Structure 1
Amino acid sequence: MCGIVGMAGQGPVNQEIYDALLLLQHRGQDSTGMATAESSGVFHIHKARGQVREAFRTRDMRALLGDIGLGHVRYATKGTASNEEEAQPFYVNAPYGIVLVHNGNLTNTRELTTELFHKDRRHLNTSSDTELLVNILGSELQSEITGPDLDPSAQVFRAVGRVHERVEGSYASIALIAGYGLLAFRDPFGIRPLILGKRPAAQVPGGEPRDEYIVASESLVLENAGFEIVRDVEPGEAVFITLDGTLHAQQCARNTVLAPCSFEYVYLARPDSVMNGVSVYETRLRMGERLADTVAKYTPAGAIDVVMPIPDSARPAAMQVARKLGIEYREGFYKNRYVGRTFIMPGQAVRKKSVRQKLNAMSTEFQGKNVLLVDDSIVRGTTSREIIQMARDAGAKSVTFASAAPPVRYPHVYGINMPSRHELVAHGRTIPEIAQELGCDYLVYQEVDDLKAAIMEGTDLVDLDMSCFDGRYVTGTVSDEYLAWVEGSQES
């Protein structure tokens, strides 16, 4: 899970891409990077570890020249979070020069690595699957070129079609092709989000007016920058924006189905975004509505005095739980907003330490009360266990814990750092066993069908990736052998 943005403008795009990355910071805090291109084809690239405000200095921004560019915030799911060489964007110099950013996870990296060396004769310098992807795109584009120039409406789209044939997994990608323009494409299942926006042409002193375009992981980026939302990039589709502002779009995959990641709606995305035509905020309200029924079913009458959210992503669900159950809603935890999201921090020890830095329990809200704590999900259980203990330390009489998502029992291989079943607190345990592990009096999970209904209600969606909840991997290419290999590579 990362955040990506690409922009083709009428003037310098560095500041607007920087602003967009700030809005996408919740999607990744390990590293960040930006690339811009001048019309001559010269790339300017800067990337560094840490968050956006830490990574870019004034001198860096001044060097990022050009009217077209892209940016990335990284949350490591492949490779090493501490390795600055694996920060995006990645660059290859042939053909023409390509810079690429990627959100997602490739699931046939072993096969692709072998192919790139023996068939494509290309060298990989990191373990990042993004480096794999940019090299595959470069190789396929190279094979399509027959003359001195590049035809964006034919050669680029055929190359993307070959990428779809070779690559498995999830990928929303944006690339710059030196001297030609900006390319964006999405995997045939649309697992990771990508949305297209447009800002109508305006007269520029000394130049011809042209439309400006943006592609980004979340719609809030478009709205904040004054772009009108055109549509989501379709699964398997590629969009190419030339240097003169002309938009080309074409479906490049044979068999496509929209099956977006359900965890985007549970936790990853900001609530003020709309993805695949579905409001994240309204989805979380519906999750609360359905969770309330399950709470009422599995907790004794009178066992709850107040409902409290674990801020911030669980707040809409908690509000609806309280409203439907007719129980008082209170805010018992105060959040320090200068600490990163604990779920996406690498390492259990770091997560555990960060919980108490991130949250403070106000004893006046807990003292002598039977509290229902609502969180968006429970993954490893480290954060939940600490929060439950904080509530007890603050004087709670009893603690019921509710998850707006079902039990996470299976690895997530499409771009979220849940690679090992052994790390998941729900794997191999019953709900009473999980409650004992977490230290709560009662534990309630959202039902799988209720989460699916909360996301899909009133939409055109016909499928979702819910693999971490139900073990069904929508691409159909994830085997038990692959899962074992992923777990082994993480442990080694």
Structure 2
Amino acid sequence: MNVMHERWSNPVRDPSDRDAWDDTPRLECGVFGVFDVDEAAALTALGLHSLQHRGQEACGIASFDGQRFHTERHMGHVGDAFAGADLVERLPGRAAIGHTRYSTAGGSFIRNVQPMFADLDSGGIALAHNGNLTNFLTLREQLVADGAIFQSTSDSEVILHLIARSRREKIVDRFIDALSKIEGGYALVAISNKKLIGIRDPLGIRPLVLGDLDGKAVLASETCALDMIGASFVRDVENGEMIVIDQDGVQSLKPFPAKRARPCIFEYVYFARPDSVVNGKSVYEVRKRMGRRLAQETPAEVDVVVPVPDSGVPAALGFAQEAGLPYELGIIRNHYVGRTFIQPTQGQREMGVRMKLSPNRSVLAGKRVLLVDDSIVRGTNSIRVVRMVREAGAKEVHLRSASPPIQWPDYYGIDMPDREKLLAANHSVEEIAKILNVDSMGYLSVEGLYWAMEAGPRNAEDPQFTDHYFTGDYPTRLLDREIAEGRNEAVERQLSFLVDA
């Protein structure tokens, strides 16, 4: 039996405690893993720092010292949770995995924070998972009926239960057995007594990369995490691939039926850090091309192009360069406003947006301003930004989205609301312009987005990317949704991940 030592912190938090004025999409998490290295937990903490943008609600690290597993899970940022000089004493060992997390609908609770640990008959295992299972509720119901007891509302725990119930002897075979039963998009890392394992879903929806640090293998959600620890990029983990790392080296397995990759295109639009390279494409360059194409498709007679920080910056730069217009920082973001400090009530939201974003009046006053944002979900953030820019003296305010209209919810690890809450799903572009109080409104087309990806025209029969939020073309069955609709149940945001994934 493997003894596990766990430390955790769970400050009381209001489930609605998030940037109430910020309706940007939220990704569930980032993952990181190292094997056979000195001070593995410290390296993992550094890697998680670079993946903080993928999850700011909570973080955790699990390590193995050859005899015992050690885990720490905390609410809040990596820098607050794992900054102590005694980190490697608290989390000893030469193998470790880590996780950063966003909550979705519902609250942030320590029981849902990863990595999660299970003590199996074949040895202990700690697992961290990015993504979402679209048959999570179905599997959970079956497992509960068979006597399984769940400690969380996370679909990651479903994976652990499936691994525990597998009758296969070897841990790798148990993983294969368990993952053959799940559907959805995921990238996961896990450590057992003797191995570090990384797996990417059969469609490659969620990213995972393999790196090298002085001859030792590293797994991470993005290449920026490799850069942080001085590791070199080896390659992307392929769709449907299992990477097994142990003392004998790195082994690649392809245990699932071959499928054409359909990576999530929203990684390029918003989620990935601009200095990352995802599936061989520079995120920064893709976003600049999005802005260039946006200028071609939706030109505007304006005096200045201003990004909505921070994710709108590359696209705004591309727009300005293509249109031959001045590019200025007309909105300044305050990076030192902590989430735990800002807990706005309904009446404080206007003050909240001004604490996070401030107008640069010298750029905006008397100008025809074109704002460029990466995407627009509900529109609440855009309304407040536009109002702020107008109050700063802008003569006109025009808005452009560097991605197509978001019209469909996501079930693969992005916190996007129900369709009735999506602005573009319920209003025309002209209506949206009136709602947001802008002089003109424009979106990048789906074709323009594929152009920016340098992927050629979109193949409607077999799309090159997961792009259902724009097209309604989901890459897998939504089994939980189908069953819920068959039962005439309300299909809410918990479809594939209950309340928190």
For the pair 1:227 / 2:234, whether they are aligned, the reply is no
Provide the secondary structure at the position in 2 that maps to 1:328.
Answer: coil
What amino acid sits opposite 1:324 in the alignment?
E
In 2, are the aligned partners of 1:352 and 1:383 still within 8 Å (CA)?
A: no
Per-residue displacement from partner, 1:10-50 (whole Å, max 9, x unpaired)?
3121111111111111111110000000122x101000101
Provide the secondary structure at the position in 2 that maps to 1:365.
Answer: helix
What amino acid sits opposite 1:117 in the alignment?
V
User: Map of 1:28-39 to 2, 5 A cutoff?
Assistant: 28-39=55-66
Which residue of 95, 103, 114 maps to 1:88? Answer: 114
Aligned to 1:208: none
Shift of 1:354: 4.1
What amino acid sits opposite 1:126 in the alignment?
S
Provide the secondary structure at the position in 2 that maps to 1:380.
Answer: coil
What amino acid sits opposite 2:71 in the alignment?
I
Shift of 1:162: 2.4
Counterpart-to-counterpart distance in 2, 1:132 and 1:454: 37
Aligned to 2:305: 307
Counterpart-to-counterpart distance in 1, 2:377 and 2:339: 13
Aligned to 1:100: 127
Which residue of 68, 71, 74 maps to 2:98? Answer: 71
Quickly say closer, same or farther: Cα 1:346–1:245, change in 2 above 3 A: farther
Aligned to 1:168: 183
Counterpart-to-counterpart distance in 1, 2:360 and 2:203: 44
Quickly say closer, same or farther: Cα 1:112–1:247, change in 2 above 3 A: same
What amino acid sits opposite 1:33 in the alignment?
G
For the pair 1:279 / 2:282, whether they are aligned, the reply is yes
Counterpart-to-counterpart distance in 1, 2:240 and 2:305: 43
Provide the secondary structure at the position in 2 that maps to 1:34.
Answer: strand
Counterpart-to-counterpart distance in 2, 1:460 and 1:469: 12
Aligned to 2:168: 144
Percent of aligned positions that are identical: 39
User: Map of 1:174-253 to 2, 5 A cutoff?
Assistant: 174-177=189-192, 179-200=193-214, 211-242=215-246, 244=247, 246-253=249-256
Quickly say closer, same or farther: Cα 1:268–1:334, change in 2 above 3 A: same
In 1, are the aligned partners of 2:31 and 2:98 still within 8 Å (CA)?
A: yes
In 2, are the aligned partners of 1:285 and 1:320 still within 8 Å (CA)?
A: yes
Shift of 1:350: 8.9
Per-residue displacement from partner, 1:62-118 (whole Å, max 9, x unpaired)?
21000000001101237x442111111111111311110000011111211122233
Please give the root-mean-square deviation of Cα atoms over the aligned residues, in Å. Answer: 2.6
In 2, are the aligned partners of 1:277 and 1:459 still within 8 Å (CA)?
A: no
For the pair 1:445 / 2:424, whether they are aligned, the reply is no
In 1, are the aligned partners of 2:447 and 2:457 still within 8 Å (CA)?
A: no
User: Map of 1:464-479 to 2, 5 A cutoff?
Assistant: 464-477=465-478, 479=481
Shift of 1:164: 3.1
Aligned to 1:18: 45
Quickly say closer, same or farther: Cα 1:380–1:172, change in 2 above 3 A: same
Per-residue displacement from partner, 1:306-358 (whole Å, max 9, x unpaired)?
1111112111111111111111111101111124699xx99999986643221
Bigger proportion of residues as helix: 1
Q: TM-score, normalised by structure 2?
A: 0.86
Provide the secondary structure at the position in 1 that maps to 2:243.
Answer: strand
For the pair 1:159 / 2:159, whether they are aligned, the reply is no
User: Map of 1:259-338 to 2, 5 A cutoff?
Assistant: 259-296=262-299, 299=300, 303-338=301-336
**Unmatched tracts of structure 1, length 5 or more:** 201-210
In 1, are the aligned partners of 2:42 and 2:87 still within 8 Å (CA)?
A: no
Alignment: residue pair count? 459
What amino acid sits opposite 2:370 in the alignment?
L
**RCO higher in 1 or 2 (8 Å CA, sep ≥ 6)?**
2
Counterpart-to-counterpart distance in 2, 1:231 and 1:349: 49
Counterpart-to-counterpart distance in 1, 2:294 and 2:190: 41
In 2, are the aligned partners of 1:198 and 1:212 still within 8 Å (CA)?
A: yes
Counterpart-to-counterpart distance in 2, 1:75 and 1:349: 25
Shift of 1:445: 0.4
For the pair 1:410 / 2:434, whether they are aligned, the reply is no
Provide the secondary structure at the position in 1 that maps to 2:296.
Answer: helix
Aligned to 2:151: 125
Aligned to 2:17: none
Shift of 1:161: 2.9
Counterpart-to-counterpart distance in 1, 2:319 and 2:339: 24
Per-residue displacement from partner, 1:433-460 (whole Å, max 9, x unpaired)?
1111111111000101111221244899
What amino acid sits opposite 1:163 in the alignment?
A
Aligned to 1:357: 355
Quickly say closer, same or farther: Cα 1:459–1:347, change in 2 above 3 A: farther
What amino acid sits opposite 2:44 in the alignment?
I
In 2, are the aligned partners of 1:9 and 1:67 still within 8 Å (CA)?
A: yes
Q: TM-score, normalised by structure 1?
A: 0.87
Shift of 1:485: 4.5
What amino acid sits opposite 2:51 in the alignment?
L
In 1, are the aligned partners of 2:450 and 2:456 still within 8 Å (CA)?
A: no
Aligned to 1:205: none
Counterpart-to-counterpart distance in 1, 2:126 and 2:238: 22
In 1, are the aligned partners of 2:408 and 2:472 still within 8 Å (CA)?
A: yes
Aligned to 2:80: 54
**Unmatched tracts of structure 2, length 5 or more:** 1-26
Shift of 1:122: 2.7
Quickly say closer, same or farther: Cα 1:112–1:456, change in 2 above 3 A: farther
